[in-house]
């Protein structure tokens, strides 16, 4: 069984700060930016990245972020109903 790492242990041994990694992964998933767009955005901030680096971050950290998010997400009921409204017209169909 794999033991869950703390937030600090999750980013051990990485070249970039965890804030940069989280920011790139979040922007990629939330705003549907391309990897090359993210590279340009990080270059404007003075960081030199390759698009494959961001792709590796997305593949590595997305499952862990989903696990952590699901712990705080509220469960929705299993059944739900939609009210149906319709109009019945009398007369000829036009």
Q: Quick one: the chain helix, strand, coil %, rounded to 5? A: 55, 0, 45
| Residue 82 zone, left/alpha/beta (φ > 0; ψ -120 to 50; rest) | beta
pLDDT per residue as tens, the chain (94 positions): 345 556 667 877 777 888 899 899 999 999 989 999 999 999 999 999 999 999 999 999 999 888 888 888 777 777 767 777 766 677 665 5
Q: Helix 18-31 vs helix 35-44: angle between axes, to the nearest 10 degrees?
A: 140
pTM of the predicted structure, to 2 decimals: 0.67
The ranges assigned to domains in the chain are: 14-72
Is the alpha carbon torsion for 6, 10, 15, 19 positive or negative?
negative
């Amino acid at each position: 069984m794999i033991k869950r790492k703390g937030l600090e242990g999750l980013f051990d041994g990485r070249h970039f700060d965890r804030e940069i990694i989280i920011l790139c992964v979040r922007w990629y998933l939330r705003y549907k930016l391309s990897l090359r767009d993210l590279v340009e955005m990080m270059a404007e901030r003075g960081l030199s990245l390759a698009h494959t680096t961001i792709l590796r971050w997305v593949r590595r950290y997305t499952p862990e972020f989903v696990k952590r998010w699901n712990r705080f997400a509220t469960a929705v009921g299993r059944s739900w109903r939609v009210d149906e409204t319709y109009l019945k017209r009398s007369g000829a169909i036009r």
